[in-house]
Amino acid sequence: MTSHPKDLSDELIEVMKNSKKICKHIHLPLQSGSSKILKAMNRCYDKETYIALANKIRREIPDISITTDIIVGFPGETLEDVKETIDVIEKVSFDNAFTFIYSKRTGTPAAAMENQVDAATVKKHFDMVLTKVQETAKKQLGRFLGKTVCVLCEGTNEQDADFLDGRMSGNTIVHFPGDASMIGKFYNVKLTAFHGFYYDGEIVDKAGNDCG
């Protein structure tokens, strides 16, 4: 699920922690790690508040997958602001992040701001953020290698019909041998190889219906 950081309550965390019907994945948009830029975006939280919330989620749900959105190049953003964003990426260790370059939209308050960042600077800052996201996400996602996890089989792999595509509770994709009769069912799968953002695996046995 996706929640604005200001709306993610302790009650919601508790429900996600205890329910077997909810996947262990939450999309928590950051947008920027700079409190100055967050204020300019009217995001209603600062860097410290966001980190504290992410830490609380991980403390309550240790196996949770946290993904996010990050915008680079918002008006007024400096190299120091970008470094603040990178600092949050390092401290939270996102499982993945959707990283975007700011684009001016007519009629928005940001479009009228005078301190627009030039394209070359934005591209340089974007590459810095993207590199850090890829580095930390690979390390975070790779923690499951060698473990047996519950996987929901979603369909036949497009590249190899002898393999199926499944998804872990944290939303990570797993490829494993099987046939179409297995689609829509849960399986315990041992993760045998990690490829950056997805796993290869082999079925251990069929799992229960709630993947718990």
**CATH number (domain holding residue 168):** 2.40.50.140
| 212 within domain boundaries | no
Q: What is the pLDDT of residue 20?
A: 85
Domain count, the chain: 2
Name the nearest CA neighbour of 32 among 49, 12, 8.
Answer: 49
Residues 118 and 170 in one domain: no
| 211 within domain boundaries | no
Q: What is the pLDDT of residue 134?
A: 94
Q: What is the pLDDT of residue 104?
A: 82
**CATH number (domain holding residue 96):** 3.30.750.200
Summarised one tens digit per residue, pLDDT across range 35-49 is 999 999 999 999 999
Confidence of residue 1 (pLDDT cuts 50, 70, 90): low
CA distance 60 to 211: 19
Question: 69 CB contacts (<8 Å, ≥6 apart)?
Answer: 27, 29, 30, 31, 97, 98, 99, 100
Q: What is the pLDDT of residue 108?
A: 84
Q: What is the pLDDT of residue 212?
A: 52
Residues 93 and 155 in one domain: no
Summarised one tens digit per residue, pLDDT across range 73-93 is 999 999 999 999 999 999 999
Where does a domain end: 89, 114, 143? 143
Summarised one tens digit per residue, pLDDT across range 125-158 is 999 999 999 999 999 999 999 999 999 999 999 9
Residues 42 and 115 in one domain: yes
178-183 long-range contacts, CB within 8 A, separation 24+: 178/153, 178/203, 180/156, 182/153, 183/153, 183/154, 183/155, 183/156
Between the two ends of the chain, the Cα-to-Cα distance in Å is 18
Q: What is the pLDDT of residue 210?
A: 54
Residue given tokens 């953002």 in the structure block: 197
* 110 or 58, higher pLDDT: 58
Where does a domain end: 128, 143, 158? 143
Residues 39 and 74 in one domain: yes
**Mean pLDDT score across all residues of the chain:** 92
Q: What is the pLDDT of residue 209?
A: 57
Locate 81 and state its tokens: 């602001």
Residues 94 and 187 in one domain: no
Residues 16 and 95 in one domain: yes
Residues 157 and 52 in one domain: no
Which region among 103-112, 121-130, 161-170 has the lowest average model confidence (pLDDT)?
Answer: 103-112
Q: Report the alpha-carbon angle 9-66-70, nearest 5.
A: 95
* Domain membership of residue 154 as a residue range: 145-206
Residues 34 and 116 in one domain: yes
Name the nearest CA neighbour of 117 among 206, 65, 193, 40.
Answer: 40
Percent of the chain with pLDDT over 90: 81
Confidence of residue 172 (pLDDT cuts 50, 70, 90): very high
Q: What is the pLDDT of residue 131?
A: 96
CA-to-CA separations, 82 to 30, 72, 176, in angstroms, rounded: 13, 8, 39
Q: How many CA atoms lie within 13 A of 153 on its CB side?
A: 27
Residues 110 and 34 in one domain: yes
Residues 30 and 133 in one domain: yes
Its pTM stands at 0.88
Residues 126 and 94 in one domain: yes
Q: What is the pLDDT of residue 206?
A: 72
Residues 44 and 125 in one domain: yes
Confidence of residue 95 (pLDDT cuts 50, 70, 90): very high
